[in-house]
């Protein structure tokens, strides 16, 4: 029966989380999508340690320079990283340490066996769950 709830006797039922606006939830979803690529996760982990220029990220991650630059553009557009020109190089840094915590916590969770790892093929298994909110 829809609308009726049964609770475990003696269990404290907490107050619901405070509501968030659709705009806030949408922006948070966009931020998580910007972080949701293995190379971008690796970039954030590198920048958590220290600011880096593109060639340092290329060396550290073993990824081609054009691909690093492309991922940095996505992270910059999402407000995750900022870049500052130093002569011919641009040095990138995280805008906010909260973002590093999101990535680090996700990585640790997976390493501890807390998430099933299953690849998603584009278009298969991907859904936009905003209608579930």
pTM over 0.85: no
Rounded CA separation 103/41 (Å): 6
Give 36 or 4, the one with higher predicted confidence.
Answer: 36
- Give the full edge-to-edge strand order of the sheet including 52-53: 52-53, 89-94, 81-86
pLDDT over 90 at 98, yes or no: no
**Are 30 and 66 within 8 A, CB to CB?**
no
Nearest to 83 by CA among 74, 95, 92, 73: 92
114 token code pair: 């807390």
Which two three-digit tokens encode residue 81? 């990283």
3-state secondary structure of 84: strand
pLDDT tens per residue, range 22-75: 999 999 999 999 999 999 999 999 999 999 999 999 999 999 999 999 999 999
């Amino acid at each position: 029966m829809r609308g009726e709830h049964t609770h475990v006797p003696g269990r404290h039922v907490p107050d619901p989380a405070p509501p968030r606006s659709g705009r806030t939830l949408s922006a948070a979803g966009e931020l998580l999508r910007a972080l949701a690529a293995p190379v971008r996760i690796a970039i954030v982990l590198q920048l958590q340690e220290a600011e880096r220029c593109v060639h340092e990220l290329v060396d550290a991650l073993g990824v081609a320079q054009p691909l690093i630059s492309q991922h940095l553009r996505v992270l910059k557009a999402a407000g995750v990283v900022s870049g500052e020109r130093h002569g011919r190089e641009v040095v990138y840094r995280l805008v906010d340490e909260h973002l590093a915590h999101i990535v680090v916590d996700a990585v640790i969770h997976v390493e501890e066996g807390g998430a099933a790892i299953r690849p998603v093929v584009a278009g298969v298994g991907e859904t936009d769950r905003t209608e579930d909110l």
